[in-house]
Structures are given as structure tokens and as C-alpha cells.
Chains A and B, each alone.
Chain A
């Protein structure tokens, strides 16, 4: 058990981060190189001002017509994504790990806040799952991979939640938690979770076209 724990919390962490960072860089750089090779004109139309205008607008809840049309979804998706990114960075237990490993004192928030954020991510995952099953326009375009990526994202939070509360099988749950976290990181560049990497670019390009050429709003 200790061997497994040491492996997943040691070498495998490095593998996960290397795959995540290298894979992400590969995704972004290869996309830009593809633009350079085949659609160079895109560089000419890209506008810093209008890219930012579009990204910022869509990053504010209820600032776009479509966010306002779907108030529940908007609240859930913003809460979900913020917690998804922020919670792992500042959970107290993670902060302790960083401190113990490298003697770096990292910020953290209280266990209660970490707990709440974890619940928000799990609840958000359930919301998205129900949405996929229930809404015809979502169900129609849903494939197996959509459920898989949802599971990949939910897993570290579910296992982390159970492990933190030590409800059952604590040592195993810890290992599952670490592995599922590593899987999520590694999956980002290679599944549709890559919308995390690519959406700023598609948003920026559409923002530039709407602002610079079409003189219109893309929200």
C-alpha cells in the first residue's frame, strides 16, 4: 500500500504535470503553427482590444444575452468552473503537501471553504449530467466521450471529498483521489477538456472579427 501511495504521490505526479504542461503547450503551439501555415490572414485580423473585450464580456456572469437567457446554468457553470480551478490550488491539505515537499508556504483557505467548493463542483457535475440526459438539444449532440470527460472531472472531487471526511476506505480513497487528479490533468490536452486551452483563442478570434470587421457585438 505504501509503495503504491509513494508511487502515485511521487513519480506519477511528475509524469502528470509533465504530460499536462507539455501536452498543453503542444496543443496551443501546434494550433498557432497551423494558423501560420494555412490561415495566416487570421494574424492580421486579430485585435488585442477586441479579443480582450470579447473574453472579458463572456467571463462575467449575466453580461451576455445568452447568459441572461439561462440564469440557472450561468450560476452553475461559473461556480463550477471557478471552484474547479481554485479549489485544488488552495485546499489546505494541498498547501500542506507543498509546504512539506518544498518548504514553500503556499496560500490556503479553511477546510470549510474547501469542502464547500468541492461540493459545488460535484453538484455542478450532477447538473451537467442531468442536463445532458434531459434536454433534447443537448442529448442530441451528446456522445459517450461527453460522459467520460464529465466523470474524469468529477472523480478527483468525489474521491477527495470522501477521503477528507474519512468516511470509508481512507487509504484506498486517497490513492484513488491522487490517481484521478492525475488522470484529469493528463486528459486536458487530449480530450475535449482542451476547451480550457483553446476557447480563449476561438473567443478572441470571433471577438476580433466582430469588433474590427463587423463593427458589431458578439454577445
Chain B
């Protein structure tokens, strides 16, 4: 079980930070901070910092604060005090040691989940302030090693997991063959110009969760959707650059994604069950490229399943019998308003849905998103201990009878897996796709 939260955090070794910090001078720090603030920020940062009345009402919004015994260092405004306020007050004259702590705060003690924005009476967007801090960190070259590696992968391969150009179509064809053993007529159409839908996924799917592509292909096939997947780079909708503050790279990634969809002349992009990718294509990346809303409509898997189920394009043969509870991922619920559609899907495919509390847009974060889990093993325990409140919430749902946890987001999936394991909660964690695949009618399947 968890250690007492007050215990001092052990000093973490992170080469990305340590080596980067060793190269810094106070002059460089000052110049970088001031240039980011002066050139890249404007009325938002100014209004947020000047309007904040230091009331502390955002504190209880934060799962870190609640999980660390209400330690004010972990409150949203407390994190701003330890980073941006100091930078502004000292006009950028802060030490390398200060910046080291700023990296820890901005990258491993905030998931950018924006729950605090719902608790601030003035609507101050603290996640935005943290992304400005991360931008400064990026420009200083002191981003944590693991997440910087994924950003490098994005830069070189246009996907997050160093998947090579030939490995991608190869993986799709492999999954097509696998699925044909079940449904002999099934295809994963590659490069089909003029299809209605381009289906895009995050790189961890072909890298180590290829069965998710198999399941998606079965759902598409049974529903009779006119769909395609690109065989070229641009297939990956994920975006760690958005979380490292490498906005230029974020722009390259999203341009490649949207242009691939445009080249295939599809009507819309349907994406897999991922939260941060939704934030990237729907909120952040499109804006960086100058699109108020995405240039090609984006449909998250939750909404897509909702439409298929509602229209009767997929039918449920036997509802999933184990009682489930539903985790609302921040990026698609607080960031996309899909909470009721998620519930429609859950009720359509499961016998019993038990709500966890709080839920919907007030749900507690998984503590993995916002790039925190991508900062890697050095911060794993901090992330788990920083979310005891989530464990308590899941325990209560389990007490109410829930045995399976549905999380329609990759980061949530991985983060909650760690929470469930560490706190010995004993719940299965599934995507919607897992359950739909299991429960749906498959008319063309060999078995039945």
C-alpha cells in the first residue's frame, strides 16, 4: 500500500534534466524566460496572473493536492507560485536549481487536466500557465529524457514510437490476415481515396497493442463503413510535442495528419480511444496551424461507437455481464463533452454500469495524461502516490459492485493500470472497443 504522503520525495535521476541543467547559465535562463514571456505570451498570461486573488480555491480541484495530504506545494496556484510567479517577479533571474524544480512541477506534478479551471471563480487557466513553463523548459533543453525521446521519434518518423515506414503497412496487413481467420472477407483498406473515413491511431497501437487495430477493423467491417487507413507517415495522431512545449513540431505533426486525410479525400477522421491525441487534433494542434476548429471533422471513437450503436449498424449479441464503472478522460469529456455519449455506449454494451463519484467533467484525473506518464519510470511512484484520491474513488466504485473499469483513453488506461495494481484494487481495465468486439454480432464470422 501507499507510503505516508508527507515523506520526502527521493531525488530523481533524469539525464534529460541533469545534463541539460549542467549546461545552463543564469544569463541563458533569464534571456529564454523573458523572450518566451515577451514574444509568445500576451493578454492571457497577464490577465491570469494579475487577476488571481491568491484565494486558494483551486486547491481541492487537484488530485495531487488531495493525494499528498493537502500539501499546498501541490495546489494548482501553489505550483504557479513556485514557477511562473517567481519567473515574473525576478524578471527571469532564477537559478538552474530553480529551473530543475520547475521541470519537476510542470512536467511531473501537473497533468494539464484543467479541473482547476472549473474550480477557480475567475476561470483562470492554470494548465495554460504550466504549458508556458514547459515551453520555457523546452527552449532551455531541460525536458525530461523519456518524453523528449518520444518527441525525437515524432520528429524523425512522424510517429511517437520509432515505427519505421515499412513496419506500419506491414502491421496493418498482419492484423488484416489475423482478422481474416475470423471474418474471411474482412479488409483493412489502405490508401483508399475518397473513402468516407480515415481511421487514425496512436503509435503504441501498432507497436505493442496491434489487437486494437484488429478489433477496430472488425467493428468497421461489420458496420459496413467505407473506411481507409493511410500507408504513409501521417497515420499517427499522437503528439508528445504538444506536452513538451515543442509547438513547431506539434505543427509539423498535425499538418502531416490533416494533409494525409486531405490527400485521401476523406469526409472525416475517426480516431481510436485516445485522449491526448484528441486534444492535439481538436484543440491545440489545429489552432497552432491557424484553424479555429479542425479543418477536417474529427470524430473520437466514443462518438463513432455511439453513432454506430444508435443507428443499429452494430448490434450487441450478448451484453457484457460483469458490472462496469466508467472513467471520464479529461481530454474527451472536459475537453470534448462526450460524457453522455460515453454513457450511452456503456449502457448499450454492458448489463450494469455503476457510476464512480465524482464523475463526468468533475472526474478525477488518471495522473498519467498531460505527458506525465511519458516522463517515464523515474516518476512512476510519484505519479501513483500523487493519485491516491483516484484509488479511493475506484475503491468506492468497487464497493458499489463495479468489477471492470472502462477507460476510453490510452494514457488513462496505462495510468489506471498502475493505480489499480499498486493499491491492489483488483479491477479489469478495458477499452470500449474491447467490450464491443466481445459483445457484438459478427454476421460474417466463421464461428457464427
Contact = CB atoms under 8 A, between A and B. Distances in A.
B307 to A, nearest CB: 16
Contacts of B121: 58, 66, 199, 203
Interface string A176-219: 00000000000000001011001101111111011001111111
B50 A214 contact: no
B78 A140 contact: yes
B336 A136 contact: no
Contact of A143 (B44, B50, B54, B70): B54
B448 to A, nearest CB: 39
A3 B73 CA distance: 52
A142 B44 CA distance: 22
A34 B43 contact: yes
A146 B85 CA distance: 14
B72 A31 contact: no
Contacts of B177: none
B132 to A, nearest CB: 13
B123 A202 contact: yes
Given A42-B43, A65-B118, A137-B70, A218 B123 contact: yes
Contacts of A217: 118, 361
- Chain A interface size range: 35 or more
A216 B334 contact: yes
B72 to A, nearest CB: 4
Nearest to B335: A214
A44 interface: yes
B56 A138 contact: yes
Interface in A1-60: 31-32, 34-35, 37-39, 41-42, 44-45, 54, 58
A37 B42 contact: yes
A214 B336 contact: yes
A31 B43 contact: yes
B60 A45 contact: no
Contacts of A135: 56
Contacts of B125: 206, 209
Contacts of A138: 54-56
A66 B51 contact: no
A141 B54 contact: yes
A40 B47 CA distance: 15
B362 interface: yes
Interface in A121-160: 135-143, 146
A165 interface: no
B98 interface: no
Interface string A55-74: 00010000001100110010
A50 B46 CA distance: 22
Nearest to B123: A206
B158 interface: no
Contact of A216 (B42, B48, B333): B333
B335 A141 contact: no
A204 B52 CA distance: 15
B334 A214 contact: yes
Contacts of B41: 38
Contacts of B46: 31, 34
A198 B60 CA distance: 24
B57 A70 contact: yes
A137 B336 contact: no
Nearest to B358: A65
Given A35-B42, A207-B123, A219-B118, A137 B65 contact: yes
Contacts of B293: 213
B287 interface: yes
Among all A-B residue pairs, the 6 with the closest Cβ atoms: A215-B337, A206-B123, A38-B42, A140-B72, A138-B56, A34-B43
Given A31-B47, A140-B81, A198-B122, 18 more contacts: A35-B42, A35-B43, A41-B287, A44-B292, A54-B123, A58-B121, A66-B118, A137-B65, A137-B77, A139-B72, A141-B72, A142-B54, A146-B53, A192-B54, A203-B122, A210-B117, A213-B293, A216-B334
Interface of B: 41-44, 46-48, 50-57, 59-61, 65, 70, 72-73, 75, 77-78, 81, 117-119, 121-125, 283, 287, 292-293, 333-337, 361-362
11 contacts: A41-B287, A42-B43, A66-B57, A66-B118, A73-B57, A137-B70, A138-B54, A194-B51, A213-B293, A217-B361, A218-B117
